[in-house]
Amino acid sequence: MPKITAAQLAAAFEGYARQGWGYVFTGQGQTWSAELAKSWASARRAVPSGKSSATYFTQDCAKWLGRRVADCSGGIVYTIQQFDPKFGDHSANSFKSSFVRSGPISTLPEVPGLALWKSGHIGVYIGGGKAAEFMGTAYGCVITKVKDRPWTHWGELVGVEYGSALAEKPAASIPAAVQSPAASSATAKLRVTGESVNIRASADATLAPLGVAHKGEELPLLKAGTDWHMVEWCGKQAFISAKYASEVV
């Protein structure tokens, strides 16, 4: 079974932040609902330190009702499982202990899809000195600057394909002009009508997806088509099936 690539992981996490995914401790991509909150509270599932299982899920997490949710490691587990359903559960620290290759944060290579770690917390590097992370119940999934966060290590995640080479220059030394994609030139928008729709590098359903777009999300439309629409995804040209999206009028 093919692994998710580092680029696909980075694109997925950037998408989660853009879509406003929420943070619920032990979550792994579920759509948060009052029923699920009551069920988890009744089951006395683990909650963050200092929180009560009687109120955490039903009250503290109520702001995320109707949204997809995860915690910092759960978001990574969920994303990898879209390619490998048998991939097992991990905490931030167990991900760290299984890093294939790693180093101190001061040597972070410019490789989107690398994990960023500090004790008890993990995020994903998305390039240009930025990370996407499920920061906490109050914040959800957000994009942050690596230099502003207390990361101590970077690492290659088990279950993710990184290729054979890492850039030699640390991210901080790469010119800003090449760190981030150019602003979108598209004026038309496409609205996703399917629940979870794969975004692909070309109009070919057999290709591994670059990421997943969710119902209601609007993407810059580059060119409408009968079977496939060309859209902008994380600053690059990509394709989405016309069956699961429609042009915004």
Written as six digits, the tokens of 63 are 């702001």
pLDDT score for 235? 64
pLDDT higher at 215 or 6: 6
Other C-beta atoms within 10 Å of 236: how many?
13
Residue corresponding to tokens 């759960």: 74
Is the Cβ–Cβ distance between 131 and 146 less than 8 Å? yes
- 3-class DSSP assignment, residue 106: helix
Average pLDDT of every residue of the chain: 87
- pLDDT band, very low/low/confident/very high, at 160 (cuts 50, 70, 90): very high
pLDDT score for 185? 53
- 3-class DSSP assignment, residue 238: strand
Helix (H) or strand (E) holding 69: strand 68-70
pLDDT tens column, 38-90? 999 999 999 999 999 999 999 999 999 999 999 999 999 999 998 999 999 99
Is residue 93 domain-shared with residue 48, that is, in the same domain? yes
pLDDT score for 186? 58
pLDDT score for 197? 86
Separation of alpha carbons 127 and 117, rounded Å: 15
Q: Which of 155, 178, 201 is the last residue of a domain?
A: 178
Tally of domains within the chain: 2
Q: What CATH number is attached to the domain comprising 149?
A: 3.90.1720.10
pLDDT score for 219? 84
pLDDT above 90 covers a percentage of the chain that reads 70
Question: Is residue 183, in this structure, part of any structural domain at all?
Answer: no
Is residue 224 domain-shared with residue 159, that is, in the same domain? no
Q: Which of 159, 178, 197 is the last residue of a domain?
A: 178
Question: Is residue 122, in this structure, part of any structural domain at all?
Answer: yes
Domain around 118: 4-178
In 87-235, DSSP assigns E strands to 102-104, 115-118, 121-127, 130-136, 140-145, 153-155, 160-161, 188-192, 196-199, 211-214, 218-223, 228-233
pLDDT tens column, 163-188? 864 543 344 433 332 233 334 455 78
pLDDT tens column, 108-145? 999 999 999 999 999 999 999 999 999 999 999 999 99
Q: What CATH number is attached to the domain comprising 234?
A: 2.30.30.40
For residue 216, pLDDT beyond 90:
no
Which residue type does 92 have? Answer: A
Separation of alpha carbons 71 and 25, rounded Å: 5
